Structure 1
Amino acid sequence: MIIKYLKVLLLLVIGVMFLACDKKVETGVAEVHWDRDMCSRCVMVVSDRKNAVQVRDPNNGKAYMFDDMGCMALWFEEEKIKWKDKAIVWVTDVNNGEFINAREAFYDTNNVTPMAYGFSAHKSKDTIKKGEEVISYDEVIKRVTKTAQ
């Protein structure tokens, strides 16, 4: 009889332990497989290390790769991504290829990019050539989606 109660108690303890384990959603930059990962929108291989974009779903941490900011912006619209305003977005700095927070980055507008949208990210406004237009992440999204309509 005592063994039966111990088994039940053990099952309860194991059950509580599983319930207490909270799965952490990944928010950082996922591993990139250059020249093998494909853009989630246009299915082109992601090769350009200075214009790549990565989006994380804030609900489950799933990562999506893009070869250009424009593809990402259009993917949000075309796929009707409800969590787009909460998405965790990483973009590579055009100067050194480091992934940076896309929402905090500065963008210039006259670049050669994989899909010819022309927007490249900079960690610092100081790295953008004098006289070049400087815009925000929100303005990039607005311009890309406006031209697609």
Structure 2
Amino acid sequence: MMKYLKVVLLLAISLSFIACEKETQKGASKVHWDRDMCSRCVMVVSDRKNTVQVKNPDTQKTYMFDDIGCMVLWFEEEGLGWQDKAIVWITDVDTGEFIDARVAFYDTNNVTPMAYGFSAHKTKEVIKEGEEIISYDEVVKRVKKIGQ
């Protein structure tokens, strides 16, 4: 009876770890604020309003960035073949919630850690009237132009 109980307990623990791992793969990874480092500039990630995470879909490895500009230039500099398949999360500047960076709305006149100035919003309705609103692709294009 005791042996059966140990097997059931071991199975339950194993299944809970598998469930946790699958959940982590779906969403943004946990950030260790003030300890994780930007993969490009190696500054500590501490700004909870402009943090970016990139996940390699093949290896599930996550890369942290303190500013979306660092992420764009990192991809350019590293010449990685999986850029278009990458899963990209960015924090909503208003809530700090991680959102899909590719569908977010960006305004262009913000104070960001590396001074690129692009901050993400989950919806465009929260961006102040009169502010320029651009897409992820436009952010990438502008950062590349700045980085030349």
Give the TM-score taking structure 1 as reference length: 0.82
Report the structure number with the largest CA radius of gyration: 1
Partner of 1:43: 42
Question: What is the RMSD of the two structures over their aligned residues, measured on CA atoms?
Answer: 1.4
Structure 1 residue ranges (4+ consecutive) displaced by more than 6 angstroms after TM superposition: none
| Aligned-partner Cα distance in 1 for 2:91–2:43 | 17
Partner of 1:93: 92
Higher helix share goes to which structure?
2
Q: Which amino acid aligns with 1:101?
A: D
Deviations 1:100-124 (A, max 9, x none): 0000100000000000000000000
Residue 138 in 1 paired to residue 148 in 2? no
| Aligned-partner Cα distance in 1 for 2:40–2:92 | 21
Partner of 1:32: 31
Partner of 1:120: 119
Q: Which amino acid aligns with 2:124?
A: K
Ranges in structure 1 where 5+ consecutive residues have no aligned partner: 1-23
Ranges in structure 2 where 5+ consecutive residues have no aligned partner: 1-21
Partner of 2:101: 102
Instruction: Please report how far the alpha carbon of residue 27 of structure 1 lies from its aligned counterpart in structure 2 after TM superposition.
Output: 4.0
| Aligned-partner Cα distance in 2 for 1:27–1:65 | 16
| Aligned-partner Cα distance in 2 for 1:47–1:147 | 24
% identical aligned pairs: 74
* Count of aligned pairs between the two proteins: 127
Give the TM-score taking structure 2 as reference length: 0.83
